[in-house]
C-alpha cells in the first residue's frame, strides 16, 4: 500500500498537471495559481471559450459599462430595504458602519425620476381655459375609476406579473426609496457568520435543483454530479453559483484593508482594495473541497446568459429614451446604450436559450418550477442582515431575474425571419432596465478583476 506521504505527492502532482502557468515559469512559486486551473477551454452549456470572453469583456464591454453606469438613469435604484424576512425570524445583523445605506435626499433625485404617474393624479379631470369651459359638458369624458375596478386592475396586473416575472419586485408602495448606487458601492462590510451562511444555505438547499439520487447537507453541488441533472436544472444552478462567485470576487476586490495604516473595520475612514488572501480563502481548491475553480467557471456562464438577454432586448432598449430631465445627459445615455448594443450584437457566440424548455408539458412544468425557485431567491434577499449587502443582493438578483424573463417569458421572441413575434409584448419597467444593466456591470467587473488577482498570484 502507498504511504500517506506518497499519496500527498501524487495528489499534488495531479493538481499541478491540471493547472496552467506552472510549466512556463517553473522557477517561481505558484502554489495558489490552481484557483484558475478551470478557467480555460469551452464554457459549460455554451459554445465559446473562456479566453474569448476575457478578451471581449475586458477590452470592449467593461470600459463601456463603467462609463454608462455612472449616468443618472442607472445610478438611482428604487428599492424597499425594510421588508421583513418572510422565512425566519431575522436575528442577524451588521453593526459595522459600512453596512449602512445612504438614501437620497429629495433634491438629489433627478426631476425626471420623480414624475412617476399615480392613479390619483392621472385620473383627475382638469378643466381647460375659460373659453373651453363653456362647452366642456358636451365633450366630457368621465375618467374616474371606481375603487373596486381599481382593485380588480391591480389583481390583474399582479397575475400578469406572476406569469412573466422571475423575481418579486418591490419598487412601489410604502418603504420604497431611491438609493444612489455610486454613494453605496458594493464592497466588504464585515457581514458574515451564521446569518449570512443561512441565506446561502437556503438558496442552495431549498431553492436550487439538485441531483435526484443524492442529497447532501453541503449546499454546494460537486461539478461531477451536475451531469446527473437535466440541462435546465444545470443552467439554474450554474447561474446562481456564478452570481455567488461574482459577489465573492467583489468582496475580495474591495476588501477593507485592516492593518494597513492602522485601519480596521471600526475606522470611519476605511480604505478598500484587493485582498489576495480573501480571494484564496473563497476560491482555492484546498479550502473549497476542490470546487472553487468550478465556481469561477460558473461566473462566465451567468455572464453569457445576461449578455444574451441584453442582445435579445436590444430593440426595446434602442427605442428607450432613458429620461431623467437632463436633455444633454439623456442624449449621451441613449448614444452610449446604442454603442454598447452594437458591440454586444457582434459577439459571435451568444448563449442559446432556445435549447431549453422545449417540447412537452413536462418542459412547461419545469419552467414553472424554475420560475418559482428564482422568485423565492429574490424573497430571500429580504433576510440579508446587512443593508448594503441586501441592496446589492436585491439589485443583482432582480437583474438576473429580468434576464430570465427576457429569455424565457416568450415576450421577447423572434419568428423564423428574425422579426419580433409581438412588439407590444416587449416591455420592461425602468427598475428592470436599471437592474439588468447594473447586474451585467457587476459580472463584467468580476471577470475584469479576475485578471488582477491572476497577476497578483503570479
Annotated binding site: 187, 189, 200, 241, 244, 282
Least Cα distance to 166 among 377, 383, 314, 424 occurs for: 377
Enumerate the known binding-site residues for FAD.
187, 189, 200, 241, 244, 282
386 is catalytic: yes
d(CA 336, CA 72): 13
User: Dihedral of CA 399/405/411/414: which sign?
Assistant: positive
Radius of gyration of the chain (CA): 24
Per-residue DSSP letter, 58? I
Per residue, the 3-state secondary structure of 260-329, as one string, reads HHHCCCCCCCCCEECCHHHHHHHHCHHHCCCCHHHHHHHHHHHHHHHHHHHHHCHHHHHHCCCCCCCHHH
d(CA 8, CA 4): 6
Evaluate whether 237 touches 209 at the Cβ level (below 8 Å).
yes
| Dihedral over alpha carbons 290, 292, 295, 299 (to 10 degrees) | -150
Beta strand pairing status for 76-80 and 255-256?
A: unpaired
Q: Is 402 exposed, middle or buried (CB count within 10 Å of its CB: 0-12, 13-18, 19+)?
A: buried
Cell of 413: 421572441
Least Cα distance to 439 among 309, 293, 335, 318 occurs for: 309
Where would I find the H helices in 61-140? 62-68, 72-75, 111-114, 119-122, 130-133
User: Dihedral of CA 329/331/333/336: which sign?
Assistant: negative
Catalytically annotated residues: 386, 389
Amino acid at each position: 500500500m502507498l504511504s500517506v506521504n506518497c499519496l500527498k505527492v501524487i495528489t499534488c502532482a495531479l493538481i499541478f498537471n491540471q493547472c496552467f502557468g506552472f510549466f512556463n515559469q517553473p522557477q517561481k512559486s505558484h502554489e495558489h495559481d490552481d484557483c484558475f486551473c478551470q478557467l480555460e477551454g469551452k464554457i459549460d452549456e455554451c459554445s465559446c471559450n473562456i479566453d474569448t470572453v476575457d478578451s471581449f469583456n475586458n477590452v470592449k464591454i467593461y470600459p463601456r459599462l463603467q462609463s454608462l453606469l455612472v449616468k443618472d438613469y442607472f445610478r438611482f435604484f428604487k428599492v424597499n430595504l425594510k421588508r421583513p424576512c418572510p422565512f425566519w425570524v431575522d436575528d442577524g445583523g451588521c453593526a459595522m458602519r459600512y453596512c449602512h445605506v445612504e438614501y437620497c435626499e429629495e433634491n438629489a433625485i433627478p426631476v425626471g425620476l420623480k414624475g412617476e404617474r399615480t392613479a390619483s393624479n392621472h385620473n383627475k379631470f382638469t378643466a381647460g381655459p375659460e373659453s373651453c369651459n363653456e362647452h366642456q359638458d358636451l365633450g366630457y369624458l368621465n375618467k374616474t375609476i371606481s375603487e373596486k375596478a381599481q382593485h380588480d386592475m391591480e389583481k390583474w396586473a399582479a397575475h400578469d406579473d406572476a406569469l412573466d416575472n422571475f423575481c418579486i419586485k418591490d419598487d412601489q408602495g410604502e418603504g420604497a426609496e431611491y438609493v444612489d448606487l455610486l454613494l453605496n458601492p458594493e464592497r466588504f462590510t464585515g457581514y458574515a457568520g451564521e446569518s449570512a451562511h443561512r441565506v446561502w444555505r437556503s438558496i442552495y438547499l431549498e431553492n436550487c435543483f439538485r441531483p435526484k439520487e443524492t442529497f447532501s447537507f453541503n449546499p454546494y453541488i460537486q461539478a461531477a454530479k451536475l451531469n446527473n441533472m437535466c440541462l435546465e436544472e444545470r443552467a439554474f444552478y450554474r447561474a446562481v453559483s456564478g452570481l455567488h462567485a461574482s459577489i465573492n470576487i467583489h468582496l475580495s476586490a474591495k476588501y477593507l484593508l485592516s492593518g494597513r495604516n492602522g485601519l480596521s473595520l471600526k475606522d470611519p475612514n476605511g480604505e478598500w482594495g484587493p485582498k489576495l488572501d480573501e480571494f484564496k480563502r473563497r476560491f482555492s481548491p484546498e479550502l473549497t473541497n476542490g470546487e472553487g475553480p468550478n465556481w469561477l467557471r460558473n461566473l462566465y456562464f451567468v455572464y453569457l446568459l445576461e449578455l444574451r438577454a441584453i442582445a435579445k432586448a436590444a430593440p426595446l432598449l434602442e427605442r428607450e429614451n432613458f429620461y431623467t430631465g437632463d436633455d444633454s445627459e439623456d442624449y449621451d445615455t441613449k448614444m452610449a446604450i446604442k454603442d454598447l448594443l452594437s458591440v454586444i450584437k457582434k459577439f459571435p457566440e451568444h448563449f442559446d436559450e432556445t435549447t431549453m424548455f422545449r417540447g412537452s408539458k413536462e418542459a412547461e412544468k419545469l419552467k414553472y418550477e424554475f420560475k418559482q425557485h428564482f422568485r423565492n431567491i429574490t424573497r430571500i434577499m429580504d433576510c440579508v442582515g446587512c443593508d448594503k449587502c441586501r441592496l446589492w443582493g436585491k439589485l443583482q438578483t432582480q437583474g438576473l431575474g429580468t434576464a430570465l424573463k427576457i429569455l424565457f417569458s416568450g415576450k421577447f421572441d423572434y419568428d423564423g425571419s428574425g422579426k419580433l413575434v409581438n412588439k407590444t409584448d416587449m416591455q420592461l419597467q425602468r427598475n428592470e432596465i436599471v437592474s439588468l444593466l447594473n447586474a451585467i456591470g457587476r459580472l463584467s467587473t468580476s471577470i475584469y478583476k479576475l485578471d488582477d488577482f491572476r497577476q497578483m498570484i503570479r
